[in-house]
Amino acid sequence: MRTHTCNGISRADIGKSVTLIGWVKSKRDQGAGLIFIDLRDREGVTQVVFKPENSKENSELAESFRAEDVIQVIGTVEERPEIDGQSTFNTEIATGEVELIVSEVKVINRAEVLPFPLDKPVNNEDLRLKYRFLDLRRPAMARNMQLRHRITKTTRDVLDEDGFLEIETPILSKSTPEGARDFLVPSRLTPGSFYALPQAPQQYKQLLMCGGVEKYFQIARCFRDEDLRADRQPEFTQIDIEASFVTEDDIIGLTEKLLGRVFKESIGADAPASFERITYQDAMDTYGSDKPDTRFGLHLTDIGDVFANSQFKVFSGALKAGGCIKAINAKGLNSASVGQIDKMTKAAIEAGAKGLAYIQARGPEPADWRSPITKFLSEEELQGLKTKLNIEEGDLVLFGAGDWDTVCDVLGRVRLMCADYLNLLEGNTDLNFLWVTEFPLLHFDKEEGRWHAVHHPFTRPVPEDEEKLKAGEYAGLRAQAYDVVLNGYELGGGSIRIHEAELQDAMFTALGVTEEEKKTMFGHILDAFSFGAPPHGGLALGLDRVAMLVCGTDSIREVIAFPKNNKGTDLMSDSPAEVDFKQLRELYVKSTANKDEKGLKKPQQPAAK
Ligand code: ASP
């Protein structure tokens, strides 16, 4: 249907007859039958010219064209002319030195008036999602889809070169108690039983290692029934990797090679050959985050020593309870507005702080500082603070006091807000890749009174901590787990795994899995580990997030062809949707949902007896 794409003609084609097909991007009607059309396809745009002297009929037809009509044109490529001594070249597009003078035209399909323009930014995302098939025609979206393809293609190439096999694992799998909420699929053939959609192919990939596959990968769909945030989707894609006979360094090296090639081959960006590494402990201590953005400083400083004997109850109380006191000196943010300080305080409270103490250094000496807390501090403490944090005129110092986890988390969030207020990242094009290593193995949930796996139950402790796990000493165990971070986003993570039934059993015990559950939920994996399972480890990268960063967007929805909105709805096909009663009956499922007047679904109240 075409000889060239709409990005495919150049000066070399001048004088040739070519056929193009595409969408009418825009029309400029100069009157008297002279009409310019920008014709667009996936690759680009060509200017197509209808001249009345060539065919009045064609010009009349062209007058009727609307945006997004599909047309086919045959014509001759000509150089764009000079008009009144001025060049009419368009340097913005690849075909900008030429145009197509139409001799034949055919309307292939007409378009209704569009719900939104395709050549301008549209703020209403719901509208874009409802008409995603139109939205995808926008050049920015076409570019995102092309880059996403390049990422998966490069991934396949790199891993194939390294001997990895791409293997699919089941989508209909089994629910296990760890992790997020499962999506369930009722089984018609086993009434009352359910499959679960995989949250990740974690167990299957380990079972592949037990099966002697040695090197596995998959571009894997994963499903988690969670409340959605900006960069979460109920279904998402991972680059899932597992290998046998490997160390942490092997997986780290492979991932660095893979990400290096992905960034190079998609956007030509150079990633370092090996990435910096930081332990979880240091990342939290210094940046207040396990996925720190290291493109700027604003470090957290421990100031406990300055307040070792303080009369100020908030500080002394934190230290007495075994906690810590930390501060950030946001240089130059002394002029923060009341609104900005309020916002940071609100964020601190949301993260578990009681408030956010601060000092605005209106001058170099403590006497010039404005602060709700300095009146409780001694002169010695103020001077100690000044030296420790290098407080100068113009600074804003923000404090956190309490248990270590909360203080780090609170100041980590405040740190990002300060960077934003200070515009520290404006124009920054750095790619700061980072490994965060030595994560804790277990986390104690005070509310539930039980231990959870920080990564997942198959993560291996560091060798020094193996015996402690078996002995039931759970506090402070470290994992052979690692996350890869880019500019404050977690791109992925993984671990070296447990491969012995005995150690895995001890891990399940730590997590409160009962003997019965060990058999029913995890019998297969414990079994597999008892028949000569090889040592193995791996990692998964969030493909959507990698694509988001490659494409330079701030939402994963921009890099997913048909995403759900933040209520988990596909606005285009209007799913999820109700199904016929008969369909449910076949599945032995009965809905207890009840629709109130607003159309919201509510669980039905049990009928009074
Ligand atoms: N399956 C893990 C996850 O989805 C990644 C891994 O440990 O390989 O987070």
Residue 592 pLDDT more than 50? yes
* pLDDT-derived band at 230, boundaries 50, 70, 90: low
- Residue 600: predicted pLDDT: 52
Q: Which residue has the tokens 């893979």?
A: 258
Residue 378 pLDDT more than 80? yes
Most confident of 19-23, 332-336, 362-366: 19-23
- Residue 595: predicted pLDDT: 67
CA geometry: angle 153, 275, 437, nearest 5 deg: 105
Q: Which residue out of 178, 238, 454 has the highest number of ligand 1 atoms within 8 Å of its CB and is therefore the one to mutate?
A: 238
> What is the residue with the minimal CA distance to atom 8 of ligand 1?
539
Report the separation in Å between the CA atom of 203 and the middle of ligand 1, taken as the mean of its atom positions.
Answer: 10
Residue 442 pLDDT more than 50? yes
Q: Work out the percent of the chain whose per-residue pLDDT is above 70.
A: 97
Ligand 1 pocket check for 540: Cβ under 6 Å: yes
Could you report the per-residue pLDDT of 452-475, keeping only the tens digit for each? 999 999 999 999 999 999 999 999
Q: How many residues does the chain have?
A: 609
Residue 68 pLDDT more than 90? yes
> What is the residue with the minimal CA distance to atom 7 of ligand 1?
494
C-alpha distances in angstroms, 247 versus 11, 242, 481? Answer: 55, 12, 11
Ligand 1 pocket check for 200: Cβ under 6 Å: yes
- Residue 176: predicted pLDDT: 75
Residue 242 CA: nearest ligand 1 atom is 8
- Residue 599: predicted pLDDT: 52
Residue 538 CA: nearest ligand 1 atom is 8
Report the separation in Å between the CA atom of 124 and the middle of ligand 1, taken as the mean of its atom positions.
Answer: 34
Q: Which residue has the tokens 């990740």?
A: 200
Report the separation in Å between the CA atom of 490 and the middle of ligand 1, taken as the mean of its atom positions.
Answer: 12
Report the separation in Å between the CA atom of 489 and the middle of ligand 1, taken as the mean of its atom positions.
Answer: 16
Could you report the per-residue pLDDT of 107-120, keeping only the tens digit for each? 999 999 999 999 89
Average pLDDT over residues 233-253: 97
- Counting Cα atoms < 13 Å in the Cβ hemisphere of 163 gives 5
Residue 496: phi, psi to the nearest 5? Answer: -80, 140
Q: Which residue out of 173, 176, 202, 452 has the highest number of ligand 1 atoms within 8 Å of its CB and is therefore the one to mutate?
A: 202
Could you report the per-residue pLDDT of 274-295, keeping only the tens digit for each? 999 999 999 999 999 999 999 9
Residue 136: phi, psi to the nearest 5? Answer: -65, -20
Ligand 1 pocket check for 539: Cβ under 6 Å: yes
Q: Work out the percent of the chain whose per-residue pLDDT is above 90.
A: 92
Residue 606 pLDDT more than 60? no
6 contacts: CB under 8 Å, gap ≥ 6? 20, 22, 39, 40, 41, 43, 44, 45, 46, 95
Q: Which residue out of 240, 525, 541 has the highest number of ligand 1 atoms within 8 Å of its CB and is therefore the one to mutate?
A: 240
* Peptide bond preceding 170 in cis form (omega within 30 of 0): no
Residue 495 CA: nearest ligand 1 atom is 7
Report the separation in Å between the CA atom of 202 and the middle of ligand 1, taken as the mean of its atom positions.
Answer: 6
Dist. CA 394–CA 369, nearest whole Å: 10
Report the separation in Å between the CA atom of 494 and the middle of ligand 1, taken as the mean of its atom positions.
Answer: 5
Dist. CA 166–CA 241, nearest whole Å: 9
Ligand 1 pocket check for 479: Cβ under 6 Å: no
C-alpha distances in angstroms, 200 versus 540, 567, 601? Answer: 9, 22, 29
Report the separation in Å between the CA atom of 225 and the middle of ligand 1, taken as the mean of its atom positions.
Answer: 16
Report the separation in Å between the CA atom of 264 and the middle of ligand 1, taken as the mean of its atom positions.
Answer: 25
* pLDDT-derived band at 178, boundaries 50, 70, 90: low
Report the separation in Å between the CA atom of 239 and the middle of ligand 1, taken as the mean of its atom positions.
Answer: 10
Report the separation in Å between the CA atom of 219 and the middle of ligand 1, taken as the mean of its atom positions.
Answer: 13
Ligand 1 pocket check for 344: Cβ under 6 Å: no
Ligand 1 pocket check for 278: Cβ under 6 Å: no
Report the separation in Å between the CA atom of 455 and the middle of ligand 1, taken as the mean of its atom positions.
Answer: 8
Average pLDDT over residues 31-60: 96
Ligand 1 pocket check for 288: Cβ under 6 Å: no
* pLDDT-derived band at 566, boundaries 50, 70, 90: confident
Give the Cβ contact number of residue 15 at 10 Å: 9
C-alpha distances in angstroms, 407 versus 12, 172, 293, 355, 441? Answer: 65, 42, 18, 11, 21
Give the Cβ contact number of residue 598 at 10 Å: 7
Dist. CA 175–CA 194, nearest whole Å: 8
Average pLDDT over residues 557-585: 93
- Residue 6: predicted pLDDT: 97
Ligand 1 pocket check for 218: Cβ under 6 Å: no
Ligand 1 pocket check for 563: Cβ under 6 Å: no
Please report which residue ranges of 115-201 form alpha helices under DSSP H.
Answer: 125-130, 132-135, 139-161
